[in-house]
Amino acid sequence: MLSGIRPTGESFQLGNYVGAVRHWASMQDENECFFFLADLHALIDTPEPQRLRGRTRQAVAELLAMGVDPERSTVFAQGHVPEHAELGWILGCLTGFGEASRMTQFKDKGGGTVGLFTYPVLQAADILLYSADAVPIGEDQRQHLELTRDLAQRFNSRYGDTFSLPAAYAGRAGERIKDLRDPSRKMSKSIGGSGTVWVLDDPKTITKKVKSAVTDTGREVVASEEKPGVTNLLTILSVATGKALPELEQAYAGKGYGDFKADVADAVVELFAPVRERYAELVADEGYLDEVLADGAAAARGVATSMLTTVRDRVGLLAPRRT
């Protein structure tokens, strides 16, 4: 099992927790997991160097605070394993220009850098290096996983069986959390603002953001397509309390939005209180966080260099003479 997250934004946001990291935490018992901070992918946004460095270390503390356990999983920074970039180049040489141009994320953004254009190929390298069988992805990444499978198949038929074909993780479908101010789009680190709940927001800020969330006309607390704002808050409440949507709809029948929003705010505050507490302890110990990353990189490189040695040989790169 392999998954990555970009160390962008102020911290991770509620959607990252709901759609990704809480599942990572629960997968660790039955799977051999590799979780990485996609700092090479973060470079696509050309962040301030000092900020990216700081954010990468901070992101480790956040993942651990949310339940990722470096004793059971390999946690590393992508930039510490240069094999990602090298395999990305090799796979790029097998990727058609037209094929890469069809990736909707690039088209949706209306162009950008070569990095943005080729990042699905780097993503393919991220996955194939570790022979990941299962990759938990959101719907927006499905096309990239297809590209990964195509590239693996192409490589295998040209150079001999090398890569295993990854599948989308068939676990629980991840809920999509929407921006609180604009429920027509997903909550996102790069959008931020008052529609985004950061995992490290203090209780007052969380309450303020939830209480000023956009709701819909009417008074009924029900999940429906016509009520994207209320549906989003119900989803959040359901995740935070573990209660199913129909049960929540029933509990708020005839109560109106005021009580409902106050309860959603309290539930999110309660959900993230232990994360904030644990994060504060972890982030104060830079030495420990660096050690986690160093151990993770060593374990990841063990797997990645072995795969890359095979790949280099198969494509015909001359091995350096040992002295």
Catalog residues that contact ligand AQP under the rule CB under 6 A.
Answer: 5-6, 8-9, 13, 15-16, 18-20, 38, 138, 174, 176-177, 186-190
Q: How far apart are CA 279 and CA 200, in angstroms?
A: 8
Q: What are phi and psi of 179, to 5 degrees?
A: -60, 135
Active-site option among 107, 109, 204, 208: 109
Active-site option among 107, 178, 186, 261: 186
- Asked if 1 and 34 count as a contact pair (C-beta separation under 8 A), the reply is yes
Q: For the chain, what is the largest distance between any 2 Cα atoms, rounded to a whole number of angstroms?
A: 79
Active-site option among 178, 189, 209, 227: 189
End-to-end CA distance of the chain: 37
- Asked if 235 and 263 count as a contact pair (C-beta separation under 8 A), the reply is no
**Residue 243 annotated as catalytic:** no
CB of 217 to ligand AQP, least distance (A): 24
CB of 3 to ligand AQP, least distance (A): 7
CB of 68 to ligand AQP, least distance (A): 13
Nearer to ligand AQP, 173 or 284 (CB): 173
- For residue 35, CA distances in Å to 12, 107, 192, 203 come to 15, 28, 24, 28
Residue of minimal Cβ distance to ligand AQP? 19
CB of 259 to ligand AQP, least distance (A): 25
**Residue 261 annotated as catalytic:** no
The partner residues of 76 in beta bridges, in order of sequence, read 36
Q: How far apart are CA 124 and CA 115, in angstroms?
A: 14
Residue that the structure tokens 């059971």 belong to: 72
Q: How far apart are CA 172 and CA 169, in angstroms?
A: 9
Spatial CA neighbour of 38 closest among 132, 141, 123: 123
Nearer to ligand AQP, 116 or 251 (CB): 116
Nearer to ligand AQP, 29 or 108 (CB): 108
Nearer to ligand AQP, 105 or 305 (CB): 105
CB of 19 to ligand AQP, least distance (A): 2
Nearer to ligand AQP, 171 or 302 (CB): 171
CB of 167 to ligand AQP, least distance (A): 16
- For residue 164, CA distances in Å to 53, 130, 131, 315 come to 33, 9, 6, 17
What is the gyration radius of the CA atoms in the chain, in angstroms? 21
**Residue 189 annotated as catalytic:** yes
From start to end of 69-207, where are the E strands? 74-77, 134-135, 167-168
Nearer to ligand AQP, 193 or 258 (CB): 193
Which residues form the catalytic set?
A: 109, 186, 189
